[in-house]
Amino acid sequence: GAVVSQHPSRVICKSGTSVKIECRSLDFQATTMFWYRQFPKQSLMLMATSNEGSKATYEQGVEKDKFLINHASLTLSTLTVTSAHPEDSSFYICSAQMGNSPLHFGNGTRLTVT
């Protein structure tokens, strides 16, 4: 089945630094990738939609200059949290889709900003 790999699974960084999270579709070409954020005991909240070769579309309230998304190829999208602060600590999850197939999710990245 389709596999989405997310790296790293956990990261701890100091306030003010930047962190990059990678999302790869391992056995299919993802025309669209989505980035979600999940706070403890809450649902997944969509942050942005990323199509290969074009700028990401961000959801209302998500700062595009803080959460930089790059989708340079059909198998890789990256999310960079810039100048991270403790309130950015969360579980970040990517998902990938080919055409109209079901979304497949990565196993998430637990970001802790100290």
88 DSSP 8-state letter: G
In contact, 67 and 20? CB cutoff 8 Å? no
59 or 83, CB closer to other proteins? 59
CB-nearer residue toward other proteins: 14 or 100: 100
**Which residues are bridge partners to 22 per DSSP?**
7, 78
Size of site (CB under 8 A) for other proteins:
25
For 32, 33, 70, 101, the CA distances from 79, given in Å and listed in that order, are 14, 11, 7, 23
Q: Does 5 bind other proteins (CB under 8 A)?
A: no
Query: In the set 42, 73, 83, 114, which binds other proteins (CB under 8 A)?
Result: 42
In whole angstroms, what is the distance from residue 69 CA to residue 40 CA? 23
Does 18 engage in binding with other proteins (CB under 8 A)?
Answer: no
The contact pattern for other proteins, residues 71-100, with x = CB under 8 A and - = no contact, is ----------------------x-x-x-xx
Pairing of strands 67-73, 10-13: unpaired
Q: Which residues bind other proteins (CB under 8 A)?
A: 4, 6, 31-32, 34, 36, 42-46, 49, 93, 95, 97, 99-100, 102-108, 110
